Structures are given as C-alpha cells and as structure tokens.
C-alpha cells in the first residue's frame, strides 16, 4: 500500500513550486513596471489630445505610421495576443522581444490622435514579450517557458486593471474555451500579485467604480428572485452584443484586407471613417479610452453608473468606433471598450427593465467582456474585486449566461474549444475559434444532409464507409508536373532607384502573372500560418496585420518541360529560393459509368468496355 506521506515526493513538489516562484517574481516586476509606465504615458497622451483637438485630423497620418511600423518591423509580433496564446499551447519560435516596444508605441500613437481602443492588449503583450525575453536569457525548457508566459499574461492583465485575482484566473481560462488547467495556478497567482504590487509601488492608481444598490442591506450576499430574472434577460443581450462586437471586428478586418491591399494604408482608411463618424454624431465621447470625461457632460465609463449618464445608443457607437479602429490596424486592447459598451448597455437595459442602473452597469461591465473573451469565471471574480462580494450571485449569472449566448465567437481567435457551448459535435477536437468560424462559414446555408456530407463521415455511418452509387464518372489520367516555390510576401521584383523599388510588385504576383501570360495550366499562391523556410526563423501569421516575412508558396502545374522552361526564363526571380518539383497525375472526369449496387467500393465499372477497373478516386 502506498504511503500516505512520501517526504521525497513532497520535497520534489515543494522544490518545483519554489523554482517556479523564483522564475515568475522577476516577470511580475517587469510586467508591473511596464504597465505602470504605460498607464502613466496613456494619461499624458490623452490629456495632450484633449488640449489639442486638431490632433484628430492627423489620425490618418498616425495610422500610416503605425501600419508602416508593423509592416517594416513587426513580423510575428503583429500576432499580438493570439500569438501569445499559440505559444503557450505549442511553444515554438517564442514571442519576439520587439513586441513590447512596438505595441507600446503603437497604442500611445492610437490614443494620442483619437483612435478608439483599450489597454489590456498592450499590457498583456508587453507582459508576454518581457516574459519570453526573460525565458530566453534563462534558457528555460518548454514546460517552464509555458509557465513564464502564463505569468506574463497574468501580471500584465492584473496590473493594468488592479485586479490580481482576475489576472491569474484570466491567464488560465483564456487559453481553452470551457476548460482550465490548474498546474500553474500558484506561480501565475504570484506573478499577478507581484505585478499589481509593483504597479502600485510606482504610484499608479486605477479608476474606482461603486455600486450603491444593496450596499446598506446589512448582509454579505444580496439576492432577489425577480431581480435575478431581469439579470438573466439582460445577460442574454450582453452575450449577443459581445458576439456582435467580435464578429463585426473580424469581418471588418477581412474587409480592409480585401479592399485595401497596402497594409500600411488600412489604418489611414479606418481613421477617415472614425473622423467622419465623430463629426456625423457631433461628439468625441467615443474616441480614446472613454474612462474619464473630457467635458463635464461627456459619456464615459464612469457616467454609465449614473441615471441619465448615457444615451440609449451609446453602447452601439462605442462598439462601432472601436471595431473600425482595431480592425483597420491601430493598436490597443478591446477590453476597456468592452467595459464601456457593457456598462452603457446595462444602463439602457436597466431603464427598460425597471432595474437599478448602477448594478446593471456593473453587470454589463463584466458580462460583455465575459462573452467576448470566453472567460466567465475570471469576469465573475473581476466583478467581485471591483464592486464587492455582495452582488456575487448577479455577477455569476450575468457572466455565465452572456458566455453561453456569445456562441463560438470571441476576440481571441487562437482560443481552443475544449468544451463546446452547443452544436459542438461537428467541430474537430480542440478546434480554435478561427477554425470554428471558418467551418461555420463553409456550412452556412447548407441543408442537414449537405452538412453531414461535409463532415469527415456521414451521420450514422462509420468512417471509411462508402455510400452505394448507381452512377459514377470515368477518370482519365495523364502525366503532369508540379513546382512549389517558397518565398516571402515582402520579396519584391528587382528595380532601380528609390521610386522604382517602392513601386516594384511582389515576386509571387510577378510569377503568377508571368505564368498566365506564358500559358501554364495552373498557378496559385498559398499563404501559410506558422513555419519557416530555407532554415530561417519560425514565423507566425499576424492576427491583425499580415506578417510580410511568413512563407508564401507559389504552386505551378503543367508539363515538366513547360515548368523547366518557365524556371529557366525567370531565373533572376527564382535564384537562391527553395523550389520543389513533384511528378503528379492530372485527372480528367468524363462521362457516366453505370455501377451495380453490389459493386465493391474499390471497383467501378468501365461503362464503355464493360469490365471492372480499379477505382483511382
């Protein structure tokens, strides 16, 4: 029988705990100090913008600067929070050191000139970048690297909002939807506490929010059945709005990418839309962070806790301003705008439902974020940390209902789905939110039978079972060749002079256009998500701005002789690149073949010659 007390086992556990604590304390200090400097700088640039209203008209120029900065120097750092989540799941190339200064400068520029953004993304990215740099210096193993990255996320989040418990839970909950791992709980909590203490030690304070409703009830926990019913109704709206924010932001991002090919030009277009909206509404209340008022009657996060402190559509305008700003390529976070959206929506719903305004503003504050980030537990704890424990039942109800109604959407597309909220049987195991969105768009508008056919196997049939068919088509094959050329999107056709180099087209476009002009059969460019080429650095796709260093593959298909001639003619563009040739078969699908019902899946009937042939499909 195993001993109940094993001194050596407990000594190993204690040693591991002490080792992780020693690792994460410096991470907490670094992240807390970075958050303190960021929050101080954010206040300064906001005050400068308030006293110089004309800066708003330079927002397009600022957008070009941010876009060019990330296009030129960003690389994998453009992945932002999604890159950090991916690196925690599967440590690889690490989080670039340049992510911290880039996101700091980009966010300050965004707020200085009037973009609508938050601060959580900046703090988390700085914490993750500094943690990754610290791990490189210490040459940590993958297991320890994962813990250190989690600590950086927790310390960054906890210190920027003054909520250390929330920071620790958020870091563990944000990785996988519906599932948490507690193996790094203590070091992550230590890092978040140290980060918050460090930020406070630098003299940085945080905004204070207060809910008067129920504060004089004389008991620790307030509960009212009728009020809970109203909370549930409001929480459903909070979840739907969080989904609206996520989907609108991702859709606008794809729209900008499609309509504005130049990465550095997208923020300028977004800036023009922001300026136009501000003047169409006749207010600047929805610019910047939105916590403190520029004018006494401004709509802010603080005013949302007061009756009459917002307009009925304040939540929508802040949502639209922020979605345009972030999807166009400006830097910052989503969380503080989500607080604003939720609090102002809660104010409006309180009036409609006859509920306490300040309580519902607080519920919206945390619940919209819970739905958008898929972190209901962290947001429940945040409500308790910020507003007090007496309304804990309402916070929990609002956050968990909003989480359910937000569906498989979210602001962090690298989150994996551990436990599906609903209709999850069709999703691949551990699919990311990005894959869930792509899968959902592919099935949109299909019937149930069509959806079943789109899955790896039909409903009710084991994998690998072929449906009996009465007719099939004939396959005629011929010999072909396939060439794959690996390069980077930023590679340009050689040109002379400054203006010539600026106007030079990308190599992959030049190759495909040349293939079309010379009559090759097929030519296509495929972007990759994560990897390296020619023994170079591991690169990752950017979540907000495309990574110009990430490998792109140009695939050409024709006869071997035609491909050889093409490569010789364009040797100036192909010299020194990784080029792979492969012999393939090209299949032509021709007329019907009649197949008997009892025919084996491995055989088909040649309708022209009346004999069985091997099935090449």
The verdict on residue 416 lying in a domain is no
Answer yes or no: is pLDDT of 616 > 50.
Answer: no
Q: What is the C-alpha separation between 571 and 594, in angstroms, rounded?
A: 49
pLDDT, averaged across the chain: 82
The verdict on residue 61 lying in a domain is yes
Q: What is the C-alpha separation between 548 and 491, in angstroms, rounded?
A: 8
* pLDDT of 463: 38
* Most confident segment among 1-10, 133-142, 274-283: 274-283
> Do 39 and 116 lie in a common domain?
yes
CA 378 vs CA 28, 231, 375, 387: distances in Å: 19, 19, 6, 14
Residue keyed to tokens 């993750």: 128
Instruction: Kindly state the average pLDDT of the residues 222-229.
Output: 83
The verdict on residue 179 lying in a domain is yes
Residue that finishes a domain, picked among 386, 405, 424: 405
The verdict on residue 7 lying in a domain is no
> Do 242 and 178 lie in a common domain?
no
* pLDDT of 500: 59
Backbone angles phi, psi at 604, to 5 degrees: -130, 165
Q: Is 218 left (phi over 0), alpha (psi -120 to 50) or beta?
A: left
CA 460 vs CA 14, 440, 455, 463, 495: distances in Å: 51, 21, 12, 10, 60
DSSP state of 356: -
Helix axes 314-328, 335-353, angle to 10 degrees: 160
> Do 237 and 189 lie in a common domain?
no
Backbone angles phi, psi at 523, to 5 degrees: -150, 130
CATH number at residue 542: 3.30.70.120
Answer yes or no: is pLDDT of 429 > 60.
Answer: yes
Q: What is the C-alpha separation between 528 and 533, in angstroms, rounded?
A: 11
Residue that finishes a domain, picked among 376, 405, 434: 405
> Do 194 and 231 lie in a common domain?
no
Alpha-carbon 612 to chain mean position: 52
Instruction: Kindly state the average pLDDT of the residues 96-104.
Output: 89
The verdict on residue 419 lying in a domain is no
* pLDDT of 465: 40
Residue that finishes a domain, picked among 405, 430, 449: 405
> Do 375 and 481 lie in a common domain?
no
Please tell me the chain's helix, strand, coil percentages from 3-state DSSP, rounded to the nearest 5: 55, 10, 35
> Do 16 and 154 lie in a common domain?
yes
Q: What is the C-alpha separation between 180 and 173, in angstroms, rounded?
A: 5
Annotate 502-568 with DSSP letters as a single string.
Answer: HHPPBHHHHHHHHHHHTT-SEEEEEE-SEE-STT---EE--SSS--TTS-EEEEEEE-HHHHHHHHH
Per-residue pLDDT tens digits for 236-261: 999 999 999 999 999 999 999 899 98
Residue 423 vs residue 76, higher pLDDT: 76
* Nearest one of 289, 296, 432 to 374, comparing CA atoms: 432
For 155-238, list the strands marked E by DSSP: 176-177
Answer yes or no: is pLDDT of 207 > 70.
Answer: yes
Residue 602 vs residue 304, higher pLDDT: 304
* pLDDT of 596: 45
Tokens found for residue 407: 């569906």
Q: What is the C-alpha separation between 512 and 485, in angstroms, rounded?
A: 11
Per-residue pLDDT tens digits for 565-613: 899 898 888 888 889 988 787 777 765 544 444 444 343 334 334 433 3
pTM for the model stands at 0.71
Domain, as residue range, for 16: 12-201
Q: What is the C-alpha separation between 213 and 353, in angstroms, rounded?
A: 16
Q: What is the C-alpha separation between 381 and 428, in angstroms, rounded?
A: 31
Backbone angles phi, psi at 253, to 5 degrees: -60, -45
Q: What is the C-alpha separation between 235 and 298, in angstroms, rounded?
A: 26
Per-residue pLDDT tens digits for 417-426: 888 887 654 6
The residue count for the chain: 617
Q: What is the C-alpha separation between 503 and 497, in angstroms, rounded?
A: 10
Instruction: Kindly state the average pLDDT of the residues 41-45.
Output: 94
CA 41 vs CA 282, 330, 501, 589: distances in Å: 28, 17, 37, 65
> Do 354 and 398 lie in a common domain?
yes
Q: What is the C-alpha separation between 492 and 509, in angstroms, rounded?
A: 9
> Do 16 and 118 lie in a common domain?
yes
> Do 87 and 186 lie in a common domain?
yes
> Do 382 and 521 lie in a common domain?
no
Determine the 3-state secondary structure of 480 from DSSP: strand
The verdict on residue 208 lying in a domain is no
Work out whether strand 416-417 and strand 176-177 pair parallel, antiparallel, or are unpaired: parallel
CATH number at residue 351: 1.10.3080.10
Is 365 in contact with 209 (CB distance < 8 Å)? yes
The verdict on residue 436 lying in a domain is no
Is 346 in contact with 365 (CB distance < 8 Å)? yes
Q: What is the C-alpha separation between 29 and 193, in angstroms, rounded?
A: 10
Q: Which residues contact 339 (CB under 8 A, 6 or more apart)?
A: 301, 365, 366, 368, 369
Q: What is the C-alpha separation between 350 and 361, in angstroms, rounded?
A: 8
* pLDDT of 591: 57
Per-residue pLDDT tens digits for 455-473: 333 333 443 444 444 445 6
Per-residue pLDDT tens digits for 255-299: 998 999 888 899 999 999 999 999 999 999 999 998 888 888 899
> How many other C-beta atoms are found inside a 10 Å radius of the C-beta of residue 564?
14
> Do 196 and 229 lie in a common domain?
no
> Do 570 and 476 lie in a common domain?
yes
* Number of folded domains that form the chain: 3
The verdict on residue 423 lying in a domain is no
Instruction: Kindly state the average pLDDT of the residues 93-119.
Output: 90
């Amino acid at each position: 029988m195993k001993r109940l007390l094993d001194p050596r086992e407990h000594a190993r556990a204690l040693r591991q705990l002490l080792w992780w604590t020693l690792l994460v304390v410096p991470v907490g200090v670094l992240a807390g100090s970075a958050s303190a400097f960021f929050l101080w700088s954010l206040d300064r640039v906001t005050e400068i913008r308030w006293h110089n209203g004309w800066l708003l008209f330079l927002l397009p120029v600022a957008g070009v600067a941010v876009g060019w900065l990330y296009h030129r120097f960003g690389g994998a750092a453009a992945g932002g929070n999604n890159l950090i989540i991916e690196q925690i799941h599967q440590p690889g190339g690490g989080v670039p050191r340049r992510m911290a200064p880039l996101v700091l400068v980009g966010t300050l520029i965004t707020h200085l000139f009037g973009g609508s953004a938050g601060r959580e993304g900046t703090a988390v990215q700085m914490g993750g970048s500094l943690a990754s740099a610290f791990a490189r210096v210490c040459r940590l193993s993958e297991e320890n690297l994962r813990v250190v990255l989690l600590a950086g996320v927790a310390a960054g989040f906890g210190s920027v909002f003054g909520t250390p418990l929330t920071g620790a839970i958020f870091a563990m909950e944000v990785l996988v939807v519906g599932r948490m791992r507690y193996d790094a709980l203590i070091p992550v909590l230590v890092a978040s506490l140290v980060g918050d203490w460090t930020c406070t030690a630098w003299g940085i304070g945080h905004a204070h929010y207060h809910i008067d409703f129920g504060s004089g009830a004389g008991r620790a926990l307030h509960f009212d059945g009728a009020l809970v019913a109203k909370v549930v109704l409001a929480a459903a709206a909070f979840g739907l709005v969080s989904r609206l924010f996520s989907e609108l932001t991702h859709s606008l991002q794809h729209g900008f990418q499609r309509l504005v090919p130049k990465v550095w030009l997208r923020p300028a277009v977004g800036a023009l839309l922001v300026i136009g909206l501000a003047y169409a509404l006749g207010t600047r209340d929805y610019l910047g962070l939105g916590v403190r008022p520029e004018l006494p009657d401004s709509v802010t996060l603080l005013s949302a806790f007061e009756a009459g402190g917002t307009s009925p559509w304040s939540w929508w305008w802040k949502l639209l301003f922020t979605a345009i700003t972030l999807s166009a390529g400006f830097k910052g976070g989503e969380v503080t705008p989500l607080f604003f959206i939720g609090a102002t929506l809660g104010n409006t719903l309180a009036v409609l439902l006859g509920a306490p305004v300040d309580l519902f503003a607080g519920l919206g504050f945390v619940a919209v974020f819970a739905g958008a980030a898929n972190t209901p537990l962290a947001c429940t704890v945040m409500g308790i940390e910020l507003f007090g424990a007496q309304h804990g039942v309402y916070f929990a109800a609002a956050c968990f209902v909003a989480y359910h109604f937000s569906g498989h959407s979210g602001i962090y597309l690298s989150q994996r789905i551990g436990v599906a909220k609903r209709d999850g049987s069709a999703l691949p195991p551990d699919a990311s939110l990005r894959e869930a969105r792509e899968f959902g768009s592919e099935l949109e508008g299909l019937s149930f039978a069509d959806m079943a056919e789109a899955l790896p196997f039909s409903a009710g049939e084991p994998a690998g079972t072929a449906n009996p068919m009465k007719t099939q088509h004939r396959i005629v094959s011929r010999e072909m060749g396939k060439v794959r050329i690996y390069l980077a999107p930023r590679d340009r056709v050689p040109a002379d002079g400054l203006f010539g180099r600026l106007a030079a087209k990308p190599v992959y476009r030049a190759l495909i256009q040349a293939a079309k002009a010379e009559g090759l059969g097929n030519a296509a460019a495929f972007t990759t998500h994560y990897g390296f080429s020619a023994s170079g650095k591991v690169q990752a796709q950017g979540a907000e701005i495309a990574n110009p260093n990430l490998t792109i593959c140009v695939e050409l298909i024709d006869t071997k002789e035609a491909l050889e001639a093409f490569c010789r003619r364009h040797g100036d563009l192909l010299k020194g690149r990784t080029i792979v040739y492969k012999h393939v078969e090209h299949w032509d699908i021709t007329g019907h073949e009649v197949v008997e019902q009892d025919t084996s899946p491995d055989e088909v009937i040649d309708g022209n010659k009346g004999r069985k042939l091997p099935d090449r499909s």
